[in-house]
Structure 1
């Protein structure tokens, strides 16, 4: 069987080209992402502080629990006491890097033990590699590395998913095109097991060659990707590729497993080929939707429905997380692709309803070759559904966040600091003095709460005076009143474990101060931006970074605007609408690039799959084309018919992809509705149009070019043609 498989590869190399390219590309991408990911996991930001000893304020909250200490970074660390700084100056020259919390670099000659003795418990002393924690770039580098992990992990997952899909489809279609060949082998005495082993041996040979090729390509691509990510700011500037070898092993064996798994179902179907198949003359498909395909598709469809229902009833907010709305659509997409033969015939008839020979031929050809139609429509479905689901999810979330901000903000004007550092007290006094206004300065801070006795949870918060807050905003309250907020209370949201009005919760403020506060009101969860509200007294160290201004009854907006500009000085005064436009939520750059990378991978695989399917189908359609020529059709008419068939199938796949997109986004919309947000669904029509146009172009070119080459032969009796 191995020698037969090798001979088959030599004589039918066009049938395996698509599988080889898809596998090689997939392994190359896995190798590239694996090498860069391994380097990012082992990389550590460099030590930048030049001083031998660095003294920092305590910026870490430590809370003891039965499971050990839980730590979190404080929003507003307390400044190093002046007395401590004076003691440090006695030991050597002291350089202050930041204030008010301060990072103090003590001279290279200072003894670390003496510095620790002078500091005591008032600050933290860093030496050696620990000094990197005092560098503001350290946190940025760590965030960049974390974003890289998410980006590369998503790209690798989608690559594996789509490559399995394409390879399995390619082998299934190749087996279908070789029914007579397998039937002849059965007639010659080959058993079902031998046929299956032959198909698996072919997959093994293709898998080994393609995986090895992919590893070689990946070794050249990884340094290019690492350099490009550093240049684009997606990785720290110092990031370089390491010497890890495990990504090569992981990519190679993954590729080989993909080839064997993709061919497993095809080999089973090939083994069931009866010897009587050798006598078949008609090319019409029968039994396209096999019991295994129906069972897998139904199981995936039910899984998608059940998991969606569980999320909606248990934790709707989980559907808004990036890793969820990137991975969850895969279930529904795969189910739709597996079950697509059920709806392709009626869908094609719906798309080609016009009377005439051309429409009739399109309907009958696509209906007779459902397996070919499904193999061509499936990658289009996957690409359109991925584009619509991923880009639509981010756009819908952005709309939801914008709607929340619009509903919460009732101020006529918003004043923002020009330098981003906050307002000084003199500016705030001038703003408060503007007549016919209610001025509400607020500051960003954070609080921590211990849930279940072991989980230290951070919540973003805003601090503002209760009366002014109620006049300039409309909080989405589920219970309680804003006016009940005072220095002994807090406004929380429904995500908190304890969120009943009147209950008391123990929290740690932005500077680490522990407080036990009464819950004055509870907000709905929303998209996750409904944090916590406190009074300024419970936000020590937080400077006012935003001033909302409401108009008194009968106030002249123009006069107030003029007075605000005069009082604000160089700071910016924006109307409510201008501020909402300036702060409209946008998809994070790393997330956007990650989604574009995912869609680029999907579109590339779509091209491979479409080209592979049409080229393999071309030899089986030579008789059909010859019959059309003998019936009087011109060469141009035959080519136009071929292109029209391809466009019809692409349209069918695109419609199925839009349906899957609508279902996926409907689940997100229901989650938002349960979280008290009801934005309109956002379909990325431009991206969908570009995706469908690209798929249509690929399909038409891949269909017309082989047909044109076949038509160069003289139109003779179609019975004389051989596959």
Structure 2
């Protein structure tokens, strides 16, 4: 049998190359994602940046720490307290200190760049050095990063004090960790009285002694100083986000790789049924046939898996560069020297190859010799008992999970991991059941062409219907390509439409005004001026946070809105599940139905945005919707938070045009953006950021590129196996052009069959999202990405036609008589 095996490998080189390519690329994908994922598990200790040269940094903890039975739980405070004045006074009396302050600044020219303001005396600790000009010496002077030609120029700068011209007295080299503007120390203190950090020139032990055992103060030295940097957990958060992204991408690519490899190897076995029949006729036992094909698969599997691991090492480095270039990963991110991804990729590839061949040869080995020869020409029984069981089981599981999720936890369907992995069950189910779907679909699609003059349409219909296994195997890559692209993008688009509809349904105001970040919210005088506009009812709200300890173990932060309850119903229409919004007062709270405690009248222990603990009574419960509905409290429970949004509603008969002009005139000095209801809703429409698009490229683009290659690979294998059929057509009188047209039309037909199956899977998945949104009381429309589906179908069609016609052209160069008599 070893001689037969070696001879087979030599004569069926197209099938050998096809299975080798599919497996090598699949293993490469798994290795690439595995190496990237492994590299996100270890991060070097983040070094201090803005305070790299500071001896000691003292800062407020600015975090809420709550004791639970399983240990302390912490969350950053929505309203940081800063260093207490008492601590600052004690330290300044004993040792040299420099106060650090951070506050938003906006340059009101061009794109309105947002910067962060600091006192100049703190600049040196972050490595800032003047490259031109001098330090800010007067209140109207500033220093910023930029070209030396900026020195002496006046820039309109917006701060909490309003808009004013500031003269650039000097420039510094840009820093990686922030875009800063430096003010004179006295001016910075006026703009931001709160002290965020204190740089202390003294020994750490001396500082700790002076501070005393104060739990709200941190004394930072060495690498711990990075906790005072802007975004101190930037690298850790980026790695966590990358871990989630690559975990999802790894799951998708592993599924696609296993799916395509198993399908390719099963198709390779199906191509050899005539050969198996001849071997059985010659006296080979089923065990010998299985052993021969198992050894072939093992040989190809080992070599292809080794090649795939080698390709994966290069692919992982390319992936790391892409993530760094697109700012999804920290600049230092590289692929580490990890071995387990290679083991996972190698053994997964080898086992899938062996499993695919084993399953296919079990049935082939059981067929009697005469039956094997008969089935080599026509697929009489394409569905096996195991295929029925697994296909029906996966279909029931996929549909059942979607229904169960819709009824029990509809919000889970909106999570990326859920709608990314959900299609896999249905794709696999439809792929297993494809043989029973292919024949009727093919006959339906080819019915009209079969009625046209000529034999092309009839031959396409009969060839595809007779070769069910071949048609199903070629349609499989198209199915997974269309289903993945349609399901992921369709789910995202449907959820985005739902979010936009939810915003529109809940917004009743005629004008919405959002405060400029640099202004720090609206003061009471400005709000009073807007309320004096004839016919205007103004609802002022402030964004804060509420913390709750769920089930005694998890400290959960919820976005909260502080608003006057009498104005709330005028500006917004909230989906109230129970209770009454009008009952909201200083001792109560409105929660959403994602909270563990959500019974009207029940008291819940919460912590406010500044860390103050409070016990509030639940007066109403609103639907969580798509996640935008937070909780509501009164301004009393959001101390020291200025309103950052104004909703203006016009009374009946009021002059809305004149009123809007008056509102804009009042708010012009604040730099706030005044938008109509329509413009506001449009501006809030969810849009994919550049990083999100790159994420889709990683999750979807790589997997779809692989399936496109697999489709072309399978088409080459299928066409090369039909050289005798092509020769018979030529001997029957068909011209080369007619044969090539037939091959191309057959390829297009099979691609359309796969696209129809993929679209069906897409529709089921998107309908599941739509049902979950309906269960969340969110009005939405079903959005199918038709353009993407059409582009995907077009790309698959081009790949399939080219990969089928080119081998046919090569085969037709040989005389038909020689092709008809050629050995397989």
TM-score (norm 2): 0.84
2-side partners of 1:580 and 1:402: how far apart?
7
Say yes or no: does 1:110 pair with 2:110.
Answer: no
Alpha carbons of structure 1 residues 256 and 626: separation in structure 2 relative to 1, 3 Å: closer
Hey, what does 1:413 align to over in structure 2?
511
Hey, what does 2:26 align to over in structure 1?
26
1-side partners of 2:375 and 2:319: how far apart?
52
How far residue 588 of structure 1 moved from its aligned partner, in angstroms, is 4.8
Q: Larger % of helix: which?
A: 1
Q: Deviations over 1:321-368 (max 9, x none)?
A: 111000111001110111011111111111122213222111111111
SS at 2:71's partner residue? coil
Counterpart among 497, 507, 519 of residue 399 in structure 1? 497
Conservation of the 8 A alpha-carbon contact between 1:53 and 1:112: no
Hey, what does 1:291 align to over in structure 2?
385
1-side partners of 2:323 and 2:201: how far apart?
36
How far residue 102 of structure 1 moved from its aligned partner, in angstroms, is 4.3
1-side partners of 2:423 and 2:200: how far apart?
57
How far residue 500 of structure 1 moved from its aligned partner, in angstroms, is 2.0
1-side partners of 2:518 and 2:734: how far apart?
72
Say yes or no: does 1:65 pair with 2:65.
Answer: no
Hey, what does 2:633 align to over in structure 1?
534
Which stretches in structure 1 are left out of the alignment for 5+ residues?
none
2-side partners of 1:100 and 1:128: how far apart?
27
Conservation of the 8 A alpha-carbon contact between 1:398 and 1:587: no
Counterpart among 79, 94, 97 of residue 93 in structure 1? 97
2-side partners of 1:704 and 1:566: how far apart?
69
User: Which stretch of structure 1 is more off in the superposition, 309-318 or 650-659?
Assistant: 309-318
Hey, what does 2:185 align to over in structure 1?
none
Q: Larger % of strand: which?
A: 2
Q: Deviations over 1:565-619 (max 9, x none)?
A: 1111122111111111111112354443233333323332323332232222224
2-side partners of 1:129 and 1:696: how far apart?
57
Hey, what does 1:205 align to over in structure 2?
299
Conservation of the 8 A alpha-carbon contact between 1:384 and 1:658: yes
1:96-175 correspondence to structure 2 within 5 Å: 96-98=100-102, 102-107=195-200, 109-115=202-208, 117-118=210-211, 120-121=213-214, 122-175=216-269
2-side partners of 1:445 and 1:689: how far apart?
45
Conservation of the 8 A alpha-carbon contact between 2:541 and 2:562: yes
2-side partners of 1:450 and 1:281: how far apart?
66
Hey, what does 1:637 align to over in structure 2?
738
How far residue 396 of structure 1 moved from its aligned partner, in angstroms, is 0.6
Hey, what does 1:342 align to over in structure 2?
436
1:48-447 correspondence to structure 2 within 5 Å: 48=49, 49-50=51-52, 51-89=54-92, 90-98=94-102, 102-107=195-200, 109-115=202-208, 117-118=210-211, 120-121=213-214, 122-277=216-371, 279-280=373-374, 283-354=377-448, 355-356=451-452, 357-419=455-517, 422-425=520-523, 426-447=525-546
Say yes or no: does 1:46 pair with 2:47.
Answer: yes
Alpha carbons of structure 1 residues 88 and 255: separation in structure 2 relative to 1, 3 Å: farther
How far residue 236 of structure 1 moved from its aligned partner, in angstroms, is 1.4
User: Which stretch of structure 1 is more off in the superposition, 245-254 or 1-10?
Assistant: 1-10
How far residue 375 of structure 1 moved from its aligned partner, in angstroms, is 0.6
1:577-616 correspondence to structure 2 within 5 Å: 577-616=678-717
How far residue 719 of structure 1 moved from its aligned partner, in angstroms, is 5.3
SS at 1:502's partner residue? coil
Hey, what does 2:550 align to over in structure 1?
451
SS at 2:647's partner residue? strand
2-side partners of 1:295 and 1:103: how far apart?
65
Conservation of the 8 A alpha-carbon contact between 2:35 and 2:316: yes
How far residue 100 of structure 1 moved from its aligned partner, in angstroms, is 6.5
Counterpart among 659, 662, 666 of residue 760 in structure 2? 659
Hey, what does 2:115 align to over in structure 1?
none
2-side partners of 1:454 and 1:3: how far apart?
66
User: Which stretch of structure 1 is more off in the superposition, 708-717 or 556-565?
Assistant: 708-717
User: Which stretch of structure 1 is more off in the superposition, 198-207 or 240-249?
Assistant: 240-249
Say yes or no: does 1:560 pair with 2:659.
Answer: yes
User: Which stretch of structure 1 is more off in the superposition, 493-502 or 127-136?
Assistant: 127-136
2-side partners of 1:96 and 1:403: how far apart?
44
2-side partners of 1:401 and 1:295: how far apart?
40
Conservation of the 8 A alpha-carbon contact between 2:245 and 2:699: no
SS at 1:167's partner residue? helix
Which stretches in structure 2 are left out of the alignment for 5+ residues?
103-191
How far residue 298 of structure 1 moved from its aligned partner, in angstroms, is 0.8
Alpha carbons of structure 1 residues 387 and 272: separation in structure 2 relative to 1, 3 Å: same
Alpha carbons of structure 1 residues 332 and 116: separation in structure 2 relative to 1, 3 Å: farther
How far residue 232 of structure 1 moved from its aligned partner, in angstroms, is 1.2
Alpha carbons of structure 1 residues 630 and 207: separation in structure 2 relative to 1, 3 Å: closer
Hey, what does 1:36 align to over in structure 2?
36
Alpha carbons of structure 1 residues 566 and 706: separation in structure 2 relative to 1, 3 Å: same
Alpha carbons of structure 1 residues 19 and 457: separation in structure 2 relative to 1, 3 Å: same
RMSD (Å), alpha carbons: 2.2
Alpha carbons of structure 1 residues 642 and 290: separation in structure 2 relative to 1, 3 Å: same
User: Which stretch of structure 1 is more off in the superposition, 351-360 or 560-569?
Assistant: 351-360
TM-score (norm 1): 0.95
Conservation of the 8 A alpha-carbon contact between 1:166 and 1:605: no
